[in-house]
Chain A
Amino acid sequence: MATNEIKIDDNNPLFSTQGLFYKEFPSDLRQVRYFTLLIVQKSPPEFQEVNLLEQQISEIIKNAIKHGNKQDINKKVRVWYGFDDTSARLIVQDEGPGFQRLEEWNEFLRHRNEAFEQQDFEEMAKYISYRSPDSAPDDGGNALFAAVEYWNDGVVFNSKRNCIALKRTFRRKKKKAPGVAVGQSAGAE
Chain B
Amino acid sequence: MELHQRSNGSVQIVDIDGDLDLYNSFKLKELVNQLVNSKVAGLILNFQDVSYIDSSGVGVLIYTNSLLKTNNTPFRIIQVHGSVRRVIELTKLIGFLPIVDTEEEALKQVSGKS
Give chain A's interface residues, CB within 8 Å of chain B.
29-30, 32, 49, 51-52, 55, 58-59, 62, 112-113, 116, 119, 121, 124-125, 128-129, 138-143, 145-146, 149-150
Contact = CB atoms under 8 A, between A and B. Distances in A.
B92 A55 contact: no
Interface in B14-40: 22-23, 25-26
B59 A141 contact: yes
B59 A121 contact: no
Nearest to A49: B83
B73 to A, nearest CB: 17
Contacts of A138: 22, 25-26, 56, 59
A55 B83 contact: yes
Contacts of B60: 140
A-side interface mostly: helix
A171 B60 CA distance: 31
Contact of A142 (B23, B58, B66, B86): B58
A139 B59 contact: yes
A90 B71 CA distance: 42
B95 A140 contact: no
B87 interface: yes
A56 B82 CA distance: 14
B83 A142 contact: no
B55 interface: yes
Contact of B55 (A29, A52, A121, A142): A142
Given A149-B90, A149-B92, A142 B62 contact: yes
Most chain A CB atoms below 10 A, which of B57, B82, B96: B96
B83 to A, nearest CB: 4
A129 B91 CA distance: 10
Most chain B CB atoms below 10 A, which of A121, A124, A128: A128
Contact of B22 (A62, A112, A119, A124): A62
Contacts of B26: 138
Given A51-B83, A52-B87, A138-B25, A143 B54 contact: yes
Given A49-B86, A116-B92, A59 B55 contact: yes
B92 to A, nearest CB: 5
Nearest to B82: A51
B56 A140 contact: yes
Interface string B43-85: 0000000011111111110100010000000000000001100
A119 B95 contact: yes
A55 B53 CA distance: 8
Contacts of A143: 54-55
B93 interface: yes
A49 B89 CA distance: 14
